[in-house]
Amino acid sequence: MLKVRNVGYMVEGLSYEEAVAETEERKRINDKAEQIIGTPIEKWPEFSMNWDTSPEGFHYSFDGAPAGSINTADRVVMWVRLDELDAVLQSYNLRTKDEIWDVGNHRRAAKVIVHCSEGGKLSPIAVVPTTPGKVGLSGGNHRLAIARAKGVEAVPLLIEKKHAETVTKLICSIIPTA
């Protein structure tokens, strides 16, 4: 019998076999994530945070946005020191390493860990200026929380070009990229 989620994948253009495979893969990832939830940082699987800053993956920065839904020509990637981002981040977006399992969706945080531990790449953290002198997250809260917990020093930000100057003025250490 066809599972409801498989039908959803088929509506998105996948064949039945592809939909079944996608459902099985998501179940595998969810099962691994369930084993990580609540685990102290020192007991997480080994991984590095590898970032994909290519425009083709920008839609992933917005947690579930479909491919092609983001105008990549209107976006710029900037690498920043995490401590400087935290200094201008809205307080409700600051999540300490001790809050990984207490704030936000713990399953999403665990799935970031699974993704990284399997060599997956992460899309940049999406930010937007909010109140004067502050930026807020428009995508990437869990990626950022895991990066903070891992002690990552720099992260890529995805910013609309119209906000790039504002963000650059707020964050002193924009790290040049090759």
* Residue pair 78/61 in contact by the 8 Å Cβ criterion: no
**Residue 43, token pair as written in the block:** 């007991």
Tell me the per-residue pLDDT of 155-173, one tens digit each, with 9 for 90 and over: 999 999 999 999 988 887 6
Mean pLDDT of the chain: 88
| Cα gap 156→126, rounded to integer Å | 9
Tell me the per-residue pLDDT of 80-126, one tens digit each, with 9 for 90 and over: 999 999 999 998 888 888 899 998 899 999 999 999 999 999 999 99
* Residue pair 36/114 in contact by the 8 Å Cβ criterion: yes
| Cα gap 47→52, rounded to integer Å | 15
The amino acid that residue 7 corresponds to is V
Of 136, 138, 135, 140, nearest to 169 (Cα)?
Answer: 135
Would the pLDDT of 4 be above 50?
no
Range with lowest mean pLDDT among 8-17, 33-42, 124-133, 164-173: 8-17
